């Protein structure tokens, strides 16, 4: 038996309980978690904004040590440090054939499988494939990536979602070029990774926007040159900071209609807006045909940073080892499994960066 945080039903409080994991069968790996990040996507799963089969062990950002492997697993062995990839690509679908592995049609196929059993016999699913809100997990081999050398596993946990998403949003989706101006909406774990990645890309002006004035110090430490508390004049304020034109690039990390619209309005004519935040179906964003023509702006979605983790993890690790990307600064709270509900409350209230479960 291992301890885990289980979502018994959509909208219900998490239950801290014992679960029984199976031994890894063919193509499976058992891992002892070192750390797991608490991501806004976990909150979206718990409140029904995103749907997965329940009851489920949530958690999708983590790193740990391999305990055992099933038949046919050769790229990792017991004792190896690993980073978990919650959206593995099948390599066979149409999107994978185009090289768009972040859109793989089978990426979340494992979420419907039976992952474990609770002490009372209930069958449990793995929320987003990897179920990192637990002391141990058993996952498919393609969900496991060797941990980069020289990076502690407690830091490496952040690579599995926040950093890949933030880095990819800047380098792959928005394609920020040196000298460009960037505005980032939302200074949570992903937003902080976006700010650091914009600095790495050589952005000149980097504006951070958040509802909380208390996050200014975090934002500036991550690379923001300017900080704005969100208001009705945010788009106008961004233009004042960018030569009256607006930013070249906006990255929205909130997932709300009002911030998506404001991000779009904050960019210059011909500017680019990348939406990273995951919003609900009720969040409707509207535009009129004339403004779309006149402004010539681009609005695009961004899934997992448009990243290929196999390709991008080594590049990101090099930035970490060189001191250009500080993983530890993304974490504003270290907690146990019992601290997840409070971490969710902090997200809803707009407080802090990444909460990290340390086992």
pLDDT band at 7 (very low <50, low <70, confident <90, very high): very high
> Does position 233 have pLDDT exceeding 90, yes or no?
yes
Chain length of the chain: 359
For helices 234-241 and 257-265, angle between their N-to-C axes, nearest 10 degrees: 30
**Domain annotation covers residue 308:** no
- Digit-coded pLDDT (tens) for 147-164: 999 999 999 999 999 999
Cis peptide before 55 (omega within 30 of 0): yes
The residue out of 286, 302, 318 marking a domain boundary is: 302
Both 106 and 11 in one domain: the answer is yes
pTM: 0.95
**Domain annotation covers residue 99:** yes
| DSSP H or E stretch at residue 346 | helix 340-349
**Domain annotation covers residue 307:** no
For the residues 190-199, what does the mean pLDDT come to?
98
Question: Closest Cα to residue 138, out of 147, 122, 155, 125?
Answer: 125
- Digit-coded pLDDT (tens) for 275-330: 999 998 899 999 999 999 999 999 999 999 999 999 999 999 999 999 999 999 99
- Digit-coded pLDDT (tens) for 273-290: 999 999 988 999 999 999
pLDDT band at 143 (very low <50, low <70, confident <90, very high): very high
pLDDT band at 37 (very low <50, low <70, confident <90, very high): very high
Residue ranges making up the domain that contains 190: 166-302
Strand runs labelled E in 21-158: 28-38, 56-57, 61-69, 81-84, 116-118, 123-126, 136-140, 144-146
The rounded distance, in Å, linking the Cα atoms of 221 and 180 is 19
Both 140 and 212 in one domain: the answer is no
The rounded distance, in Å, linking the Cα atoms of 131 and 205 is 38
Domain count, the chain: 2
């Amino acid at each position: 038996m291992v301890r885990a945080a289980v979502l018994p039903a959509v909208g219900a409080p998490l239950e801290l309980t014992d679960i029984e994991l199976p031994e890894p069968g063919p193509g499976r790996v058992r891992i002892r978690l070192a750390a797991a990040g608490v991501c806004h996507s976990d909150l979206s799963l718990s409140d029904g904004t995103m749907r997965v089969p329940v009851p489920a062990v949530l958690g999708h950002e983590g790193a740990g040590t391999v305990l055992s492997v099933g038949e046919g697993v050769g790229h990792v062995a017991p004792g190896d440090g690993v980073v978990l990839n919650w959206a593995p690509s099948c390599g066979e679908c149409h999107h994978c054939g185009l090289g768009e592995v972040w859109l793989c049609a089978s990426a979340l196929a494992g979420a419907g499988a039976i992952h474990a059993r609770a002490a009372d016999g209930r069958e449990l699913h793995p929320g987003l494939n990897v179920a990192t809100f637990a002391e141990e997990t058993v996952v498919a081999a393609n969900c496991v990536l060797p941990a980069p050398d020289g990076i502690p596993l407690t830091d490496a946990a952040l690579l599995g979602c926040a950093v890949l998403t933030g880095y990819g949003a800047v380098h792959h989706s928005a394609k920020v070029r040196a000298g460009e101006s960037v505005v980032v909406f939302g200074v949570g774990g992903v937003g902080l990774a976006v700010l650091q990645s914009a600095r790495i890309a050589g952005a000149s002006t980097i504006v951070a926007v958040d509802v909380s004035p208390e996050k200014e110090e975090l934002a500036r430490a991550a690379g923001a040159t300017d900080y704005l508390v969100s208001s009705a004049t945010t788009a106008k304020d961004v233009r004042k900071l960018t030569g009256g034109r607006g930013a070249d690039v906006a990255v929205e990390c909130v997932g709300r209609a009002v911030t998506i619209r404001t991000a779009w309005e904050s960019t210059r004519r011909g500017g680019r807006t990348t939406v990273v935040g995951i919003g609900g179906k009720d969040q409707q964003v509207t535009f009129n045909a004339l403004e779309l023509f006149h402004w010539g702006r681009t609005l695009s979605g961004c899934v997992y940073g448009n990243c290929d983790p196999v390709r991008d993890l080594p590049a990101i690790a090099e930035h970490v080892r060189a001191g250009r990307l500080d993983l530890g600064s993304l974490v504003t709270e270290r907690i146990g499994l019992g601290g997840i509900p409070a971490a969710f409350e902090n997200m809803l209230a707009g407080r802090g960066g990444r909460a990290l479960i340390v086992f």
